[in-house]
Amino acid sequence: MTEPTRIHAPDGVAPAAQYSHVVVGTGRFVAVSGQLALDEDGRLVGAGDPAAQARQVFENLRRCLAAAGAGFGDVVKLTYFVTDMAHMDAIRAARAAHIPGDRLPAASAVQVSALVRPEFLMEIEAFAVVAP
């Protein structure tokens, strides 16, 4: 598999600390819908606990990527939807368990007033490019 190229500081843009500004890949595009902190039976994991929810969300992302023949090394973009930006530390810790700091994808983080159900603290979607 050809590793996507990650650009942390394009000319004229401040360096990125927790993400890559640009990720370029060649191959098959995989889009993973926003994942929530639900176990395989549809039960909430980690009520009121951002760290537990983040770990479950990344496990769900891992399973979805695997179903498409992809892994976290193929992820080129993550989008975080959070009900409180304070949850980003928990998300970064869960992400670090799956994605090394030198392979960070492009990313966006958006604080929202609510998700589909009030007990959800975050939703994360992923885009990946799998080598042909």
CA distances (Å), 33 to each of 42, 101, 125, 126, in order? 16, 23, 5, 7
pLDDT the model gives residue 95? 98
Give pLDDT tens digits for 73-129.
999 999 999 999 999 999 999 999 999 998 899 999 999 999 999 999 999 999 999
**C-alpha atoms less than 13 angstroms from C-alpha of 77 in its C-beta half-sphere:** 16
**C-alpha atoms less than 13 angstroms from C-alpha of 99 in its C-beta half-sphere:** 30
- Domains of the chain, first to last: 28-130 (3.30.1330.40)
* pTM of the predicted protein model: 0.91
If one compares 50 and 9, the residue with the highest pLDDT of the two is 50
Give me the residues paired with residue 5 across strands: 24
pLDDT the model gives residue 88? 98
Give pLDDT tens digits for 15-61.
888 898 888 888 999 999 999 999 999 999 999 999 999 999 999 99
Q: In terms of C-beta density within 10 A (0-12 exposed, 13-18 middle, 19 or more buried), how is residue 122 classed?
A: buried
Spatial CA neighbour of 61 closest among 131, 132, 129, 124: 124
